[in-house]
């Protein structure tokens, strides 16, 4: 497991967007923008369980995450790793609200019957860009 530097942790904690790449059934890449967070050691991404990226990582946990510094788009980080765990339920909904407040200033207005999940991504390689 690769360690997240202070610079990388700050990028993940601030209001920066991430792009997560997962693998489709045929091996082709699937990339989507998303909100991002960290627990200090792992990358945390919250997803709706009906989304394509959730289905991809449930089948194949290998991912890459790119985060761009919104204040300076020439700075960022690229993290390769795998989804080490998936957590659903109330904790995932609370985390979704935390991210919604971070990015929009208010809780997420989820559609009824939408299940959320936290993808805990264990980094294997971290490359900071400038």
- In the chain the domains, ranked by start, together with CATH numbers, are 6-125 (2.30.110.10)
For residues 114 and 54, the answer to whether their CB atoms sit within 8 Å is: no
| Beta-carbon contacts of residue 69 (< 8 Å; ≥ 6 apart) | 11, 14, 16, 75, 76
According to the model, what pLDDT value does residue 111 have?
76
CA distance linking residue 86 with residue 118, whole number of Å:
6
For residues 86 and 58, the answer to whether their CB atoms sit within 8 Å is: yes
According to the model, what pLDDT value does residue 113 have?
82
Digitized pLDDT (tens) for each residue of the chain, 130 residues in all: 899 999 999 999 999 999 999 999 999 999 999 999 999 999 999 999 999 999 999 999 999 999 999 999 999 999 999 999 999 999 999 999 999 999 999 987 777 788 999 999 999 999 999 8
Instruction: List the beta strands (DSSP E) in 4-71.
Output: 18-23, 29-34, 37-38, 43-48, 62-69
According to the model, what pLDDT value does residue 72 have?
95
Q: What Å distances lie between residue 49 and 7, 28, 76, 115, CA to CA?
A: 30, 20, 28, 6
According to the model, what pLDDT value does residue 48 have?
95
pTM for the whole structure? 0.94
């Amino acid at each position: 497991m690769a360690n997240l530097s202070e610079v990388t942790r700050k990028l993940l904690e601030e209001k920066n967007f991430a792009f997560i790449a997962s693998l489709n059934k045929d091996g082709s890449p699937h990339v989507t923008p998303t909100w991002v967070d960290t627990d200090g050691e792992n990358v945390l991404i919250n997803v709706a369980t009906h989304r394509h990226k959730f289905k991809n990582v449930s089948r194949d946990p290998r991912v890459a995450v790119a985060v761009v510094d919104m204040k300076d788009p020439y700075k960022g980080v690229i993290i390769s790793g795998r989804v080490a765990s998936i957590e659903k339920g109330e904790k995932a909904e609370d985390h979704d609200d935390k991210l919604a407040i971070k990015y929009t200033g208010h809780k997420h207005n989820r559609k009824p019957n939408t299940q959320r999940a936290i993808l805990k991504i264990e980094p294997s390689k971290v490359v900071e860009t400038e």
